Amino acid sequence: KIWTTDDGARVDEINGRGGGRNLKGRGVEKFEITSCMTQEFDGVSNPPPDHPVEKLFGDEQLEYELGGCRFKVSHGAFFQVNSGCAEVLYKKIVDEVKEGTKEGQRTVMFDVCCGTGSIGIVAAKMGAASKVVGCDISRPAIRDANVNKDLNGIGERCVFEAGRAEHIMARQVKASLDAASAAGDDEGTRFVAVVDPAREGCHGDVLKSLRNTRAIERVVYVSCNPTVSLPRDAKVLCGPKSKRVYGEPFVVKKAQPVDMFPMTKHTEVVMVFERGGEGEEEKVEEKKGRKSGNR
């Protein structure tokens, strides 16, 4: 892993077999281990995000800078380690959140799978979002996000909650619309969702909530698995209506790869969806109508 700090790039290749011996001669001998954590788990898979971790010594959090913001990150929390490409990625996301905003319009951004809050905080700091609502199932990550929003002086514009995204989005959309209506500004608020899931992609309930929440006009999907989970999730966002998926379908407007993993076959993709596309059912009916008319 490459950690970028105020002191420069530090390379950590310590593993169970090498014990750090392969670091000799690489210019990192003078660096000291700043913290050491241990976690006991007897399961057959990875421990859950909130599984307890014991600090043996040192700092409990690492600190990073990204997009002009500072972030404190706890053990086990996700953070982009390729900081140079992450700057490019976050600028692209922020630009897509901004796009389509009318003069004087207020943008509420949902940061789904927000982790430590980095995307939402950068978007708020750069003026792309008037309000950020972040949600994640990891309580330790949400604790970091709430620390980070205050660390960057935008605590009043960001709300980070641990829980199911579909429930949090529904509640926050209603609250924002009620507030706008009370202020006589029904047309002055737009809703954009930024979704940055793990490789498995979005939970089906989150996708259905995005589709069925009519106030959400735009979805910026950030995928590290563009060949499997992204196309699967896109089918839910763009597919035909059904009893469970009844919102107007989205359409894909653009896609941009970002080389977050140099010298590998993997890439990150930012795909932008906008509301108002035709579902497959409508297209089929239209084709049937044209064929009938030709007879």
**How distant is the alpha carbon of residue 219 from its chain centre?**
11
Which amino acid is located at 240 in the chain?
Answer: P
Dig out the tokens for 15 from the structure: 């593993």
Give me the catalytic one of 69, 113, 158, 224: 224
The pair phi, psi for residue 57, each rounded to 5°, is -165, 165
Evaluated on CA atoms 253, 209, 97, 107, the torsion sign reads: positive
d(CA 26, CA 10): 11
Give SS3 for 240: coil
Give me the torsion for CA of 205, 210, 215, 216, rounded to 10°: 160
Q: Is 196 annotated as a binding residue?
A: yes
Q: Is 158 a residue of the active site?
A: no
Going by C-alpha positions, the residue among 67, 62, 74 that lies closest to residue 33 is: 62
Q: Is 136 annotated as a binding residue?
A: yes
The count of C-alpha atoms lying within 13 angstroms of the C-alpha of 103, restricted to the half-sphere facing its C-beta, is 0
Q: Is 39 annotated as a binding residue?
A: no
Give SS3 for 141: helix
Query: Which residues are catalytically annotated?
Result: 224
Known binding positions for S-adenosyl-L-methionine: 80, 136, 196
**Residues annotated in the binding site, as ranges?**
80, 136, 196
